[in-house]
Amino acid sequence: MQPSGLFWNRRRFLQGLTIAGAACTAPGVFAQKLIETATTTEGPFYPDKMPLDTDNDLLILNDAITPGVGQVTHLSGRLLSAAGQPIRNAFVEIWQVDNTGSYVHTGGRQPTGHDKNFQGYGRFLSDSKGQYYFRTIKPIEYTLINIFRTAHIHFAISRSGKRVFTTQMLVAGHPGNARDNLTQRMDKAALATILVDFKPMPGSKIGELTANFDVVLGKTASEGEDGVLRGVAAPLSRRNP
Q: Which residues carry out catalysis? A: 103, 142, 149, 152, 154
Contacts of 171 (CB under 8 A, 6+ apart): 138, 139, 150, 151, 152, 177, 195, 196, 198
- Measured between its terminal Cα atoms, the distance across the chain in Å is 31
Q: Which of 225, 220, 190 is nearest to 36 (CA)?
A: 190
Q: Which of 214, 123, 223, 121 is nearest to 163 (CA)?
A: 223
SS3 sequence of 201-228: CCCCCCCCEEEECCEEECCCCEECCCCC
DSSP H helices in the chain:
4-21, 181-185, 188-192
Distances (CA, A) of 110 to 27, 97, 142, 168: 50, 10, 10, 21
CA distance linking residue 158 with residue 160, whole number of Å = 7
CA distance linking residue 168 with residue 223, whole number of Å = 19
